[in-house]
Structure 1
Amino acid sequence: METFLIRALQLILSLSLLVIVHEGGHFFFARLFKIRVEKFYIFFDPWFSLFKYKPKNSDTEYGVGWLPLGGYCKISGMIDESMDTEQMKQPAQPWEFRSKPAWQRLLVMIGGVLMNFLLALFIYSMILYTWGDSYIALKDMTYGMKFNETAKQIGFRDGDILKAADGEPLERFNVDMLRSLVEAREVTVLRNGQEEKILMPEVSLLDIAKEDPPFVDILYPNVVDSVWADGGFAKAGIMAGDTLLAVNGAAVNSWNDFVNELGTLQAKAELEKQPNATFSLVYARGGIRDTVQVQTNSSFKVGAEMHLDYKPTVLTYGFFSSFPAGVTLGVNTLKGYVNDMKYVFTKEGAKSVGGFGTIGSIFPKVWDWPRFWSMTAFLSIILAFMNILPIPALDGGHVLFLLYEIIARRKPSDKFLEYAQMVGMFLLFALLIWANFNDVLRFLF
């Protein structure tokens, strides 16, 4: 329950900030061009609001709605999600959106997207300025990588050190690295001190991202690093420095293999409704083999850990140098997200679309400010990109119609815009329902 509340609080705080900034972008340009803003709300307020306030001599009512699905900035003389068509039947007033030149209306509509993208760049910059950047370079992972059967069929081998994809150096272990591998025609690895070229077939990032064990992982040697007192290993006499060789007769060539075998034992024990598992372990110490029986605890742990003493690459940034680095990070994040959008239009991609539960799950289980701000910046980029898509009811839909007006020098009719808004809202609500329905299915099954 505590984990749920921490994640929920992070999600609400993050989305509230993004909504304020997004709607603030519309508000800023609207007021810049002297367009009246009737309402500025965080969350939606059908039938009633949690809080509202209208300053004296102001045309704008500020408030907080009860339905946490976003927010809105109601601009006079515009067909938007409020569907206030009665106002559009009245003669146009100088302070209304529809009375302004097309270029001004265009800036009002892209204001939210612009502010979200700028916010993401600023957050990334401040993360780098405050905490810097620390990672273990792939070239320094001297034990190499662990690959699953799919990767081995392509040509990878356990212990390969990843060097380059289509000649571009691979620097760190993350989703960008995985994306580079998938999109490459040729991957260069260092194997036994010699460079090897691996030809990549057509593979889907979405497919390999779901594989378990993973397509590629950090290789941990099959040598025990540390043992906890009173754990299963300690009770069986296993000590730090022992080499693991087999679990229940299955060969173990890495700590990764050992963890996978534990996972198999756990799945079997849970199916049989057993509180833990006991297994046969073959190990070696000083060249001498022995076999012991090891019992897991109720969490199916054996009381041991594996750490690698790789030296991290640490990058620090001054205040001014953090901005170009933050811009680069933000732009690369946007490129990766846009590139991955093609998977949404596949059968598996449609199933993977998630709602608020999925979004909330990306936040850490404990409060972690660097992680919180990183996720907020990422969500800000997603919000900016999704809103600029040329779909009616989104900012991109309004932008599309404004561009048509500028090019054709004629406005779409109010009736057309009204119908387009209704169709767009129907599509958005359908997508929202589908995404959260997927979350429910994942929770249940």
Structure 2
Amino acid sequence: MEIAIKLSQFLLSLSILIILHELGHFIPAKLFKTRVEKFYLFFDIKYSLLKKKIGETEYGIGWLPLGGYVKISGMIDESMDTEQMAQEPQPWEFRSKPAWQRLIIMLGGVTVNFILAFIIYIGMTFFYGEKYITNSEVKDGVWVQNTELEKAGIKTGDKLVAIDGKEIVKFEPSINMDVLMAKTVLVSRNGEEKTITLPNNFIGKFIDQDKKGLIALRMPFVVGGLQDDSPNKELKAKDIFVSINGQPTRYFDQVEPILTANKGKQLPAVVLRDQKETAITVTVNKQGKLGVALGSIKEDNLEKLGYYKFSTETFGFFESIPVGIDKGFTQLGNYWRQLKLIFNPSTGAYKGVGGFAAIYNVFPDSWSWEAFWSITALLSIMLGVMNLLPIPALDGGHVMFLLYEMISGKKPSDKFLEKAQLVGFVLLISLLLFANGNDIYKAIVGK
């Protein structure tokens, strides 16, 4: 069932993005009276699942869910229709239109992608508002989950003050990405501020470790249940550890060192059970474990127990517009920064490049419209930015040649464009193989 939910979200998001992107090309092409021969969701290599011709355009759904396309008459694209290009240009063909019209047609897809992302962020701001923890609420610092981050100098219990000189006001999930791409992090430790400089190849080291996160809020140790071979039958689900062996265990990260130092021993402990502190004895096995499954705790209970206070800010419709637009530009800037890191081999960021499996795994196991739209907005930005890269066979490649034509007054020959398209197609296939090869490698090695 979980696979079906993830797959449904993945295919729905992909379909929305592809259809709207291609509509961005289709609509201006029609407005400028350019013939569109095909409009396809997914690729129809050899055959299509569904197809219907309406007017001069064949609409259909292909069997290969790796994208979609519109085939515009008189345009050198991935179809490599050299027969059509060998004939005399016709008034309804793309190549017969003025350069400014061709430029609008080519920019239509990415324009729609960016507009879609901004609309989604505006809508999410209006419907869901903003839920966050102010950084001042993280009084006992953060939980560092990555050993490479510890080696760089950031420790559990450090309070994050600023990233690359920008003060941290809200502690949000995106803070992991901010730290991952940071050059410097200012922390407060025992009342003293210290600037930590992260190594240039930190991203590559992080990917090699395959940690889900870098830092997180420090959470209590909540018992979710007992394992079959657990020696601690006295424990109950929802118990929260207060202390073990006389040492405070307000946070989960404080428990492991105590257990590791007392393997095979029985220790006095205090747990919070039904809102009352209860004294018990726990047995630590030879592996330094208690034989329990970890549980979770709801946000309102975290507030009641005095851990963190969550803030929710709501917005009216018109208030949501500038806030949503700001979120869109923030994500756009973040993704551009990621791309620059990926194309810099010294950072090792290229190791994290993923294909369709990576995108599929981003979606949650249970259906969440909030998560769905958030992921779709980010993917829309990624699709827009990637398509703007000046690579022949991408929209950005066509735009590059059109700008050259408009500036120089000289149109590249059809033969040159055909060869450039072929080179671009080879580059794209190579990128796809690399990205999806990364997915396969990670699956094989268990990362």
**Bin of the TM-score, shorter chain as denominator length:** 0.7 to 0.9
Shift of 1:364: 0.3
Q: Within 2, Cα distance between the matches of 1:349 and 1:165?
A: 19
Match of 2:353 in 1: 353
Q: Deviations over 1:377-412 (max 9, x none)?
A: 111000000001000100000000001101111111
Q: Report SS of the residue matched to 1:403.
A: helix
Is 2:290 aligned against 1:292? no
Q: Within 2, Cα distance between the matches of 1:49 and 1:411?
A: 35
Contact 2:43/2:61 (<8 A) preserved: yes
Q: Percent identity?
A: 42
Shift of 1:236: 4.0
Q: Deviations over 1:108-153 (max 9, x none)?
A: 0010000011001111111111111212222212221123554445
Residues 305/8 of structure 1: CA separation in 2 closer, same or farther (3 Å cut):
closer
Is 2:14 aligned against 1:23? no
Q: Within 2, Cα distance between the matches of 1:233 and 1:320?
A: 58
Q: Deviations over 1:16-53 (max 9, x none)?
A: 11011000000111111111111111111122111111
Q: Within 2, Cα distance between the matches of 1:261 and 1:206?
A: 31
Flag as ranges the 4+ runs of structure 1 deviating above 6 A. Answer: 259-262, 286-289
Matches within 5 A, 1:171-250: 171-176=170-175, 178-180=177-179, 183-185=182-184, 187-189=186-188, 191-192=189-190, 194-207=191-204, 209-210=206-207, 211=209, 212=211, 215-220=214-219, 224-225=221-222, 228=225, 232=230, 235-237=233-235, 240-244=240-244
Q: Report SS of the residue matched to 1:49.
A: strand
Match of 1:380 in 2: 380
Match of 1:140 in 2: 137
Q: Deviations over 1:321-373 (max 9, x none)?
A: 21211111111101111101133232743332211111100000111110011
Shift of 1:215: 4.2
Contact 1:244/1:281 (<8 A) preserved: no
Match of 1:68 in 2: 65
Match of 2:342 in 1: 344
Match of 2:112 in 1: 115
How many residue pairs match? The answer is: 419
What are structure 1's unaligned runs of at least 5 residues?
Answer: 265-277
Q: Within 2, Cα distance between the matches of 1:380 and 1:302?
A: 38
Q: Within 2, Cα distance between the matches of 1:39 and 1:9?
A: 26
Contact 1:213/1:260 (<8 A) preserved: no
Residues 334/282 of structure 1: CA separation in 2 closer, same or farther (3 Å cut):
farther
Contact 1:282/1:292 (<8 A) preserved: yes
Report which stretch shifted further, 368-377 or 127-136.
Answer: 127-136
Shift of 1:163: 2.1
Residues 398/176 of structure 1: CA separation in 2 closer, same or farther (3 Å cut):
farther
Q: Within 2, Cα distance between the matches of 1:350 and 1:156?
A: 24
Is 2:327 aligned against 1:329? yes
Q: Within 1, Cα distance between the matches of 2:360 and 2:442?
A: 14
Residues 237/11 of structure 1: CA separation in 2 closer, same or farther (3 Å cut):
closer
The RMSD of aligned alpha carbons is 3.3
Q: Report SS of the residue matched to 2:80.
A: coil
Q: Within 2, Cα distance between the matches of 1:397 and 1:88?
A: 19
Residues 338/401 of structure 1: CA separation in 2 closer, same or farther (3 Å cut):
same
Shift of 1:100: 1.0
Residues 186/376 of structure 1: CA separation in 2 closer, same or farther (3 Å cut):
closer
Q: Tell me the amino acid that sits aligned with residue 436 of structure 2.
A: N
Q: Within 1, Cα distance between the matches of 2:116 and 2:97?
A: 27
Is 2:127 aligned against 1:93? no
Q: Within 1, Cα distance between the matches of 2:85 and 2:297?
A: 67
Q: Within 1, Cα distance between the matches of 2:417 and 2:123?
A: 41
Q: Report SS of the residue matched to 2:120.
A: helix
Q: Within 2, Cα distance between the matches of 1:357 and 1:414?
A: 37
Contact 2:187/2:196 (<8 A) preserved: no
Q: Within 2, Cα distance between the matches of 1:261 and 1:73?
A: 62
Is 2:311 aligned against 1:320? no
Report which stretch shifted further, 18-27 or 285-294.
Answer: 285-294
Contact 2:232/2:283 (<8 A) preserved: no
Contact 1:150/1:215 (<8 A) preserved: no
Q: Report SS of the residue matched to 2:411.
A: coil
Shift of 1:217: 2.7
Q: Within 2, Cα distance between the matches of 1:181 and 1:374?
A: 20
TM-score normalised by L of structure 1: 0.84
Q: Deviations over 1:160-207 (max 9, x none)?
A: 222223542212233445525753445142x44x35132424344524
Contact 2:134/2:311 (<8 A) preserved: yes
Residues 215/303 of structure 1: CA separation in 2 closer, same or farther (3 Å cut):
closer
Contact 1:229/1:303 (<8 A) preserved: no
Shift of 1:260: 9.4
Q: Within 1, Cα distance between the matches of 2:66 and 2:398?
A: 20
Is 2:376 aligned against 1:400? no
Residues 361/261 of structure 1: CA separation in 2 closer, same or farther (3 Å cut):
farther
Residues 306/14 of structure 1: CA separation in 2 closer, same or farther (3 Å cut):
closer
What are structure 2's unaligned runs of at least 5 residues?
Answer: 271-276
Shift of 1:214: 5.3
Q: Tell me the amino acid that sits aligned with residue 293 of structure 2.
A: V
Match of 1:422 in 2: 422
